[in-house]
Amino acid sequence: MPYLLSLIIFVPIAGSLLTYAVGRIDRRAAGYAALAVSAVVLVVSLSVFWSVYSNVPPAGQYSLMESHPWISLQGFKLDYLLGVDGLSSPLVLLTAILGVLAVFGARGLVNDGQPTFYALLLFVEGSVMGAFTSLDLILFYLFWEITLVPIFFLVGIWGGEKRRYAALKFIIFTFAGSAIMLLGFLALYLGVPTHSFNIPDLAGKVPVGLQYLPLLAIFIGFAVEMPAFPFHSWQPDAYEQAPGPVNVLLAGVVPKFAGYGVIRIAIGLFPQASHEYAWAFIIFGGASMFYGAVVALLASDLKRMFAYTSMSHMGFVVLGAFATVASGNPLGMQGAVLQMFAHGLAIGALFMLSGFVQQRTGTREIGRLGGLGQRMPVAAMLLVFSSCAAMGLPPFANFLAEVMVISGGLSASSIVGVTILVPVITGGYFLWMLKRTVFAASDQTKVEDINTSDGIALAFYIVPLVLVVVFSFLILSPAAPIALQAAQAGGLP
C-alpha cells in the first residue's frame, strides 16, 4: 500500500470531523466512532511498524515513502514528503496505542462536551502522526504547530482549576520555542546549495560552518517542547491541569516530537556540530534528569510529580542520543529510542491512574491519599505496577532503556556515571509516594474502584512494557542503523 502513511495522518483528522458530526446527532455514538477510528489507525500503524521491522531501511533511507511537489516557485520549493524508518516506526506505533487508550479512557473521565473532546483528541493523534512521518522540515513544523492548537483547547476547556492559565502559558511557550526552531530551518534552507527542506536531501550536505547557529535555534525549540530544564516552566502547569486522557497524549507522545527531532534533525543534519558540542548536550540532558527527579521528590501533587518524572525521563533521551554521538557507541541512542517508547506507556498509565484517583477520591494530593490500597485496591495495584515501570525496575522496558542510556553515557565519559543517582532518586520518590498513598493506613471510607474495562485498558499500558523487554529486538534492531550512523558521525568506528 503506497498511501499507508497518509492514511495514518488523515484517517484521524477526517475521523475527528466525523466524530464531531456523529456527536451532533447522538452524543454517545461519538465515543464509539472515535474508538473505531483510533482502532483503524492502530491496525494501519501495526502494519507500518511491521513493514519497517521486516525490511529495515539502511540509515538515511526510508520505507513507505510518499513524495508530491506541494509548492514550486522560483526561489521557494516545498514537497509533501513522508517516510518512516526504525526511529519513527516505534513512535508511530506508540502514538496509535496511546490514541486508542486515550479515547477509551475519556469515556469515564470526561463528562461535558464529549463529541468535541473526542474530535480534538483524534486531531491531535493525526497531527502527531504527521510530525513523526514528515521528512520535510516545513511539513514537520506544520504538523508540530497544529498539534499545539487542539491541546490548548483540550487543556483549557476540560482541565482542572487553573486550566486557563495553564493553557495560555502552554501555547505561548511552545509557540515561541517553535518559532525559534523555524528560524533554524530557514537558515538551513538558505545555507545548503540545493535549497531544500527535505531531510533526505539535506542529510550530510550541511556545511560545517552553517551547523552551529541553526543547531542552537532548532535545539531550543526541542528543549521547550520536551521540555528540558531550564525551558520547562509551562510543563508542570499544563500537565497538572490537563485531564487524564489528554495527559496520555500530551506527556506520552508530544515530548517525543522533541526526542525524535533531536535524533532526526539535530544529530542527523548537524553531525559535526553535534559531535563537537556533545558534552554540552550531555550536561543539558543530565541537568534535566537531576532537576526533574529532585523536584519530583518535593512535589505534593500526584500529577505534578509525574510531570517532573516525565521531564527527568526525557533527559535520558537527550543524554543517550548525544552519548552515542560523543563516544561512537550506538548503545546510548538505541536506549534513547527504547526510552521514548517505554516512557510514553508508563507515563500514560500513571496519568490515567491519577485521573481516576482524583475522580473517585476528589484529590490528587499525595498526603491526603492515604490508604489507597484499601480504598481502591485495583487502582492501587496498577499504580504500584506502573510506578515500578516508571522507576525502571526489571522486568519493565524502562529498566532496559535506562541501563542502555547510562552505560552508553559511560562510554562517553566516566563522569556520566553520576547519573546512576537519578534512577536511585526516582526509585526513592516513587516508593515514598507509594508508602504515603497505597501502603499508608487510613480510616477513610472505601470509594468506588475503577471498573473492569478501565482496569483492562490500563493493563494495556503495562503489558507491552514487559513484552518489549522480552522482544526488545522489535525496537532495537530497526533503530540500529540510525544509531550506528550517528556513532560514525562521532568519528569513531
Partner 1 sequence: MDYLIVAIVALAAAALGTPFLQVFGQGRASGYLLIVALLIALAGVVSNTLYPQPSGSLGPLFSSDALGDLFAIVTVSVSLFVAVVSLSLVKPSANSPFYYSLLSFAALGMVLLSYSADLLMLFVSWELMSVPTYALAGFQKKKEESNEAAVKYAILGALSSAIILVGISLVYGLTGTTGIFAAAKSLSSQPFNPVASVAVVLFIVGFGFKMSVVPFHMWVPDAYEGAPTPIATLFAAGTKKAGFVAAIRVVLAISTFYAVAEQSSIFSLANVFAVLAIATMTLGNFAALTQKSITRLLAYSSIAQAGYMLIGFVIYSYAQGNPIYAAQGVLGLTGTLFHVVNHSIMKGAAFVAAGVVVLKLGRGDMAALNGLGRRMPITAFSLTVSLLALAGVPPLSGFWSKLILFLSVLNGPYAWLAVAGVLNSALSMGYYGLMIKRMYLDEAEDATQAREPIPVVVVLAVLVALMIAIGIFPGPVISFSQAAVPSAGP
Query: Which residues contact partner 1 by CB under 8 A?
Result: 70-76, 138, 141-142, 145-146, 148-149, 152-153, 156-157, 163-164, 167-168, 171-172, 175-176, 179-180, 182-183, 186-187, 189-191
Choose between 179 and 280: whose C-beta lies nearer to partner 1: 179
Q: How far is the CB of 251 from partner 1 (least distance, A)?
A: 21
257 or 316: whose CB is closer to partner 1? Answer: 257
Residue closer to partner 1, measured from CB, 55 or 72: 72
190/492 with CB nearer partner 1: 190
Q: Rounded distance, CA 386 to CA 276, Å?
A: 38
468-486: b or e for each residue (b if 16 or more CB lie within 10 Å)?
A: bbeebebbbebbbbbbbbb
Rounded least distance, CB 250 to partner 1, Å = 16
How far does Cα 110 stand from its chain's mean position? 22
Amino acid at 337: V
Of the candidates 277, 240, 244, 252, which has an alpha carbon nearest to the alpha carbon of residue 262? Answer: 277
Which spans in 226-330 are helix H? 234-241, 244-252, 254-261, 268-269, 271-276, 278-298, 302-327
CA distance 475 to 484: 15
> How far is Cα 219 from Cα 184, in angstroms, rounded to an integer?
9
Closer residue to partner 1 in complex, CB, 190/298: 190
Quote the least distance from Cβ 195 to partner 1, whole Å: 10
Give the nearest distance from C-beta 208 to partner 1 in angstroms.
18
Closest approach, Cβ 99 to partner 1, in A, equals 21
Q: Which helix (H) or strand (E) holds 454?
A: helix 452-470
Q: Which residue's CB is nearer to partner 1, number 56 or number 220?
A: 220
Do residues 133 and 194 lie in contact, with contact meaning Cβ atoms separated by under 8 Å? no
- Can you tell me the distance from the alpha carbon of 51 to that of 312, in angstroms, rounded to the nearest whole number? 32
| Cross-strand pairs, 117 | none
| 190-195-196 Cα angle (round to 5) | 115
DSSP 84: E
Please state the closest distance from residue 186 (CB atom) to partner 1, in A: 5
Between 104 and 143, name the residue whose CB sits nearer to partner 1: 143
